[in-house]
Structure 1
Amino acid sequence: MKPATWRADLVAGAVVAVLLIPQSLAYAMLAGLPAQVGLYASLLPLLAYAALGSSPVLGLGPVAVLALMIAQALAGLPASVGAEAGALVLAAEVGLLLAAAALLRLDALASLLSVPALRGFENGATLMIAASQLPVLLGSAAAGFTLPDLAASALHGGWGLRSAAWGAAAVALLLLARRAGSRLLMRLAPLALLVAAMALSALTPAGRGVAQVGALPALSLPLGLPPLQGALWWQLLPSAALVALMAFVSSLAVSESLAQRRGEKLLPAAELRGLAAANLVASLTGGMPVAGSFSRSILLHEAGAHSRWALVFVAVFMALAMALLAGPLAHLPKPVLAATIVVAVLGGFSLQPYREAWRYAPAEGLLMAAVSVTVLAWSVGAALALGVAGSVALLIQRTARPHVARIGRVPGTHHFRNVERFAVECRPEVVGLRIDESLVFTNARGLADVVLAHVREHRAQVGAPQRVLLLMAPVNHIDVSGLVALQELHAALAAEGLRLEFSEVKGPVLDRLRAVGWLERHDVSLYLSHHEGIQAGEQALRPSQADLDAPGQL
């Protein structure tokens, strides 16, 4: 490693560790776990990802959205099972599921959640996380992972004036740091606030009557296997599957966006392996499920990280923090820790994605809002299920009917455009159509109906046609369902005395058609260009053998 690269990675590691320390503590508390669990999850899992992952700037560790999911998963455990034990099992299952996905090359699973569903989930979780910390800020005993549960619990609990004062002061100071305009101050503010709060609580009477983190055990890595209880593993498996999906999708979204900015190549399969290893290591070292954080990843990028050695340096600085913070952390007021969570998560919330999605595609905007509401009113598991089901349903709905445009020649050119958008010339004896997508099982059934509708329209507006010429350039693939649909279209057109012809068929598509002798068997003419096909006149020309033998030119 060059000295300049080494220094840049060292500085980036130190800067990110400053942010990771308070976040590790806060997100462990959010998940209902002891504070030290967050520190454990930020140490050796980073080294595991650095060894197997592909992104040099993915800030791995505890994250807010996963913490909320973990809290909901652990809330259903019997009293005989501790939350820490449940977190270890959950991390192990997440790691094993991601490892299985990597082994089976299932990195395409990231596409199960569309961007609207993912943003709706993240925004809903953001609001729920902030709402769940309000009782801690106010010193209330209220608790819950949905707004109805939280509201019902709040009716039976009061609030503490001292806790509210600590929480309000912490929120105000963090907001002032954000508005100061200095990125350095904004990044250092959470850690500085925690240090000041610990000192004030330990050295003055100000911390009396305020809930504190409390004495921590010696911060030494508790190496060992997670509990091997079959019933516990089976109970947590559904939650682990959701956490694994969310961890991979959100981490991949972060690392891909930064890879594009940096002009680097990202390997989704390597990301799966890295995340799997990190979670497995977390389960062996007293941690909790981990994923990539957008805020920490951006910070690594902006701090100038060049390689995954930056993640190693983050782990080194986290080890130093573990050695130095065991005593002082006992005096940290919980309202201050809650304030760092609320300000951090709400800083990334915006209504703009909802407005943009609604204006661009109302159905996707509605899905985004529905996923957010489900997080707030029901559960994160139901919201993820809705997001996946909604994304697949919208895909099927969009592709249920192939888009076929009737086209004509732009006067004075050889270009052909949609008759509904341009002033074009159409010849009465031929119906020119452009198929704008691949023909696959989701849309193939509607092909004949769409084409016949355009034929009737052409007959009414231009004249009686003798042939139908399909411009196939946009078609990248035809599966067996698409092939059957073309056969049905050929039969339907023949029943009306019309001939089917193709133009500009791509080489790979033509190779498949030739493999089964489809063109010859159905006597379908083939043209190198749509203009050539239009000009062929009433008597369509059969494709020459030279044309059929040179698919790469089509």
Structure 2
Amino acid sequence: MKSTWRADLMAGAIVAVLLIPQSLAYAMLAGLPPQVGLYASLLPLLAYAALGSSPVLGLGPVAVLALMIAQALAGLPAGVSAEAGALVLAAEVGALLGLAALLRLDALSSLLSVPALRGFENGATLMIAAGQLPVLLGSAAAGFTLPDLATSAVHGGLRPVSAVWGGGAVALLLLSRRAGPRLLARLAPLLLLVGAMGLSAFTPAASGVAQVGALPSLALPLALPSLDKPLWLQLLPSAALVGLMAFVSSLAVSESLAQRRGEKLLPAAELRGLAAANLVASFTGGMPVAGSFSRSILLHEAGSRSRWSLVFVAVFMLLAMLLLARPLAYLPKPVLAATILVAVLGGFTLRHYREAWAYARAEGLLMAAVTAAVLLWSVGAALALGVVGSIALLLQRTARPHVARIGRVPGTHHYRNVERHVVECRPEVVGLRIDESLVFTNARGLVDVVLALVAEHRAKVGEPRRVLLLMGPVNHIDVSGLVALQELHAALAAEDLGLEFSEVKGPVLDRLKAVGWLERYHVPLYLSHHQGIQAGEHALRPSLADHDAPGQL
């Protein structure tokens, strides 16, 4: 027990070191005061620790969500502050995730395929980095897309002294990553911020460089978010996108680490934990939060054993709030922008695009399209494209069932695809294998696929008299699939061909028995495909009652 507490305490201290600069930076990235990031890193952690299931999910402000929050808050009505809008957004995200948890909609995570998610994350990474360049260089340029950023950069100006501070900070951070030990690389952002605050406060070196400025007293503001109905309605679509992204990305991080650690993750609990964390953020002056991959990896590597490590992170964050209130006013903004730039670009890679293109070009194109939508359009449009594209690719893949013509591997009882193996085929029987469940998405194509394979068999092997379907890979047949089988039976009968099944799985056979389908259409059933092939045209066709055994397969 003592070793567990010691490990969690050490992991909490290490992650808090990383979370402090990230909280400040990502709040600024979202267009919010820096202290909002600190507020979002305190009590929301306790809420997740109470209801979540992962001991290593580094919850708090994250870069991708910060970009989405900034876009959502850009169109606030006059008189509504960004802080007030962020509280409403966090409340809506928490409420939507809570409703999804209540309705057990944790399957929502499957709406975004991995290529769509990676394309979105990479696009957001590049856009975040591009958005920090003006701050780094002392320019007034701003925008949430590359065209907007380029247009405003024409008249944005440039401050050489800011570029020196920003460029120097980037160089030091990169040097610490490449040349220094791992511990130094982890501490480098915090050490850099402390050093920059010292130089700015006690020397004239930062003259002419934009600073964070005086912060209000870092006393946790406990209050309800605004109850302005038009504001809630305006932010609701953005909250739905932020909530979806928060859950999908957090679940992807926690599931990958749970597999490494040999632990069981509960998606429903993750949904509840994220909902509670965002609701608490809305009552404590914060912003929408989610799981961070970099902080989660750090918790894992630091030896976190339980969710108590998140409690310790919150404790150390509270100490930071008490100690850093005054010094933060002197923090140069170019240095803060440098920490964002280096942090987000550290996770960017082109390898995912190359692998997706080599493996499945359609998915590679979707990944690239989602990235382009983030950079050139908006994060909302990119998410919508990712969801629609993922569903479209699924429908495209399943629109026609995969059916293979199979033959016997010589000297064995094994049957394989004639296109991939040297096999023996008997003229009088067409052996086919259906490689997926028959459901409404693919049922309509079954008849055409089978008839085409029958014609191929007739041309290459000989005139068949029956068609034997190996049904082993079929896990489910819905009503649409059942109707497709009836249409197939009729189409084969029109060509004087009999329809037969082999190796039907028990649950599928139970459903067919429930409606008497096999008896009604006189479809013979064989325990093995080899038995069906060997039955021959004039062999006694077994009745369903004689072959109850396949129901136990």
* TM-score bin (small chain): over 0.9
TM-score (norm 1): 0.99
State the Cα deviation string for residues 243-284 of structure 1 (Å, max 9, x = none).
000000000000000000000000000000000000000000
CA distance in 1, matches of 2:332, 2:395: 51
SS across alignment from 1:24: helix
CA distance in 1, matches of 2:542, 2:534: 14
SS across alignment from 2:220: coil
Map of 2:543 onto structure 1: 543
Map of 1:21 onto structure 2: 20
State the Cα deviation string for residues 145-171 of structure 1 (Å, max 9, x = none).
100000000001111111111101100
Contact 2:518 2:544 in 1 (8 A): no
How far the C-alpha of 1:553 sits from its partner, in A, is 2.0
CA distance in 2, matches of 1:544, 1:396: 35
SS across alignment from 1:423: coil
Map of 2:120 onto structure 1: 121
How far the C-alpha of 1:180 sits from its partner, in A, is 1.5
CA distance in 1, matches of 2:160, 2:551: 77
State the Cα deviation string for residues 59-105 of structure 1 (Å, max 9, x = none).
00000000000000000111211000000000000001100111111
Question: Is 1:300 aligned to 2:308, yes or no?
Answer: no
State the Cα deviation string for residues 468-505 of structure 1 (Å, max 9, x = none).
00000111111111011000001100111111010011
Map of 1:97 onto structure 2: 96
CA distance in 1, matches of 2:225, 2:551: 56
Map of 1:131 onto structure 2: 130
Contact 2:524 2:544 in 1 (8 A): no
How far the C-alpha of 1:546 sits from its partner, in A, is 4.7
Map of 1:330 onto structure 2: 329
Distance change in 2, residues 1:539/1:230 (3 Å): farther
Contact 1:511 1:551 in 2 (8 A): no
How far the C-alpha of 1:552 sits from its partner, in A, is 4.4
CA distance in 2, matches of 1:421, 1:297: 44
Contact 2:472 2:503 in 1 (8 A): yes
How far the C-alpha of 1:547 sits from its partner, in A, is 2.4
Q: Which amino acid in the other structure matches residue 185 of structure 1?
A: L
Q: Which amino acid in the other structure matches residue 24 of structure 1?
A: S
Map of 2:499 onto structure 1: 500
State the Cα deviation string for residues 505-542 of structure 1 (Å, max 9, x = none).
11111111111111111111111110011011113613
Map of 1:463 onto structure 2: 462
Distance change in 2, residues 1:319/1:552 (3 Å): farther
For 1:466-477, what aligned pairs fall within 5 Å after superposition? 466-477=465-476
SS across alignment from 1:500: strand
Map of 1:349 onto structure 2: 348
Map of 2:87 onto structure 1: 88
Map of 1:70 onto structure 2: 69
Map of 1:423 onto structure 2: 422
CA distance in 1, matches of 2:450, 2:353: 36
Contact 1:508 1:551 in 2 (8 A): no
| Count, aligned residues | 552
Contact 2:23 2:41 in 1 (8 A): yes
SS across alignment from 2:233: helix
How far the C-alpha of 1:22 sits from its partner, in A, is 0.2
CA distance in 2, matches of 1:230, 1:172: 47
TM-score (norm 2): 0.99
Q: Which amino acid in the other structure matches residue 32 of structure 1?
A: G
What is the root-mean-square deviation in Å for CA atoms of aligned residues? 0.8
SS across alignment from 1:470: strand
Structure 2 unaligned residues grouped into runs of 5+: none
Percent pairwise identity: 84
How far the C-alpha of 1:551 sits from its partner, in A, is 5.1
Q: Which amino acid in the other structure matches residue 542 of structure 2?
A: R
Map of 1:518 onto structure 2: 517
How far the C-alpha of 1:545 sits from its partner, in A, is 1.3
Q: Which amino acid in the other structure matches residue 82 of structure 2?
A: A
State the Cα deviation string for residues 413-432 of structure 1 (Å, max 9, x = none).
00000001111000111100
Map of 1:433 onto structure 2: 432
SS across alignment from 2:164: helix
Q: Which amino acid in the other structure matches residue 438 of structure 1?
A: S
Map of 2:365 onto structure 1: 366
State the Cα deviation string for residues 131-189 of structure 1 (Å, max 9, x = none).
00000000011100100000000001111111111101100000000102521111000
SS across alignment from 1:354: helix
